[in-house]
Amino acid sequence: MKFNANDRCYYQANDDFFIHISSISNELYALFMQVTDSIIHDDEILRDLEIPNQFWLRIRKSWIDERKF
């Protein structure tokens, strides 16, 4: 990291820091994907979220199509 005279450093970031943050980000992303998949395939939750029934099929198809990429 480069700083000029006006910058203040509140923490130091080394390679371990970035590896750790990257690992945690990947874990959070995986959890998000699992939860989203569960929600999309649960009619009761979709009802609780007040997502109109006529959109469920489109949402599910979109989710499946995006997962293929």
Ranges of the chain with pLDDT below 70: 1-11, 69
Contact 46, 56 (CB under 8 A): yes
Question: Is 15 a member of any domain?
Answer: no
- Please check whether residue 41 lies inside any domain of the structure: yes
With 0.75 as the threshold, say if the pTM is over it. no
Please tell me the predicted confidence (pLDDT) of residue 9: 66
pLDDT of residue 43: 98
Nearest to 43 by CA among 54, 34, 56, 55: 56
∠ CA 19-14-18, rounded to 5°: 25
According to the model, what pLDDT value does residue 44 have?
98
Is residue 63 left, alpha or beta, with left meaning phi > 0 and alpha meaning psi from -120 to 50?
alpha
Q: Which domain holds residue 61?
A: 33-69
Confidence at residue 34, expressed as pLDDT on a 0 to 100 scale = 96
In the prediction, which pLDDT does 26 show?
95
Number of structural domains the chain divides into: 1
Question: Is 22 within the bounds of a domain?
Answer: no
